Chain A
Amino acid sequence: MTDHVIEVRDLRKEFGAFVAVRDVSFHVERGEIFGYLGANGAGKSTTIRMLCGLMAPSGGAATVAGHDVGRDPMKVKSSIGYMSQKFSLYRDLVAEHNLEFFGGIYGLRGKTLSRAIDAAVERTGLAPHRKAMTGSLPGGIRQRLALACSILHSPEIVFLDEPTAGVDPAARRDFWRLIRELSSAGTTVFVTTHYMDEAEYCARIGLMVDGALVALDTPRHLKEKYVPGVTLAVSGRDLHRAIAAAAALPGVIAAEPFGARVHVRFEEGRVDEAAVRALFSREGRVDRVETIEASLEDVFLAVVGAGEKKEDAA
Chain B
Amino acid sequence: MIRLLGMLASVAKKEVRQTVRDKRMMMLLIVAPLIQLFVFGNAVNLDVDHVPTVIVDQDLSHESRQHVARLLADGTLEEIARTHDTEAAEHMLVTGDAAVVLVIPPGFGDDVARRRTARVQAILDGSDPNRANVAAAAIATYFAGESQRVQRERGVALASTQGFAAHIPDVVVDSRVLFNPTLDTAVYMVPGVAAMLLLLITTIVTAMGLAREREVGTLEQILVTPVPAAMLIFGKVLPFAIVGLIDFGIALVVGSTVFDMPLHGSMPLLICATLLYLMTTLGIGLLISTYSSSQQQAFLGGFLFMLPAALLSGIMTPIRSMPSWLQPFTMLNPLRHYAEILRASLLRGAGLTDLITPMSILAVMGAVIFTYASLRFRAVTMK
A residues adjacent to B (C-beta < 8 A):
52-56, 74-75, 77-78, 80, 82, 84, 86-93, 97, 100-107, 109, 149
Contacts and interface: CB of A to CB of B under 8 A. Distances in A.
A100 B382 contact: no
B18 interface: yes
Nearest to B383: A55
Contacts of B224: 52-54, 77, 80, 82
B226 interface: yes
A53 B227 CA distance: 13
6 contacts: A93-B17, A97-B14, A101-B11, A104-B11, A105-B225, A107-B6
Nearest to A101: B14
Contacts of A56: 382-383
Q: Which of B13, B18, B225 has the most A CB atoms < 10 Å from its CB?
A: B225
A89 B224 CA distance: 13
Interface of B: 3, 6-7, 9-11, 13-14, 17-18, 21-22, 216-218, 220-228, 231-232, 382-383
Contact of B226 (A77, A87, A89): A77
B225 A88 contact: no
A77 B225 contact: yes
Contacts, number: 85
Given A54-B382, A78-B226, A92 B22 contact: yes
Given A92-B18, A109-B6, A84 B220 contact: yes
Contacts of A101: 10-11, 13-14
Contacts of B6: 104, 107, 109
Nearest to A98: B14
Contact of B10 (A80, A92, A100): A100
The list of the 6 closest CB pairs from A to B, nearest first, reads A104-B10, A88-B217, A82-B224, A105-B227, A88-B221, A101-B14
Contact of A55 (B11, B221, B226, B382): B382
Contacts of A105: 7, 10-11, 222, 225-227, 231-232
B226 A92 contact: no
A48 to B, nearest CB: 10
A102 B17 contact: no
Contacts of A104: 6-7, 9-11, 13-14
Contacts of B7: 104-105, 107
Contacts of A88: 216-218, 220-221
Given A105-B10, A105-B225, A93 B217 contact: no
A82 B221 contact: yes
Contacts of B228: 74
A82 B219 CA distance: 13
B21 A90 contact: no
A263 to B, nearest CB: 41
Contacts of B18: 90, 92-93
Contacts of A91: 216
A95 to B, nearest CB: 13
Nearest to A15: B383
A278 to B, nearest CB: 59
A93 B14 CA distance: 8
A196 B225 CA distance: 30
A116 B10 CA distance: 15
Q: Which of B17, B18, B226, B232 has the most A CB atoms < 10 Å from its CB?
A: B226
Contacts of B11: 101, 104-105
Contacts of A93: 14, 17-18, 21
Contacts of B14: 90, 93, 97, 100-101, 104
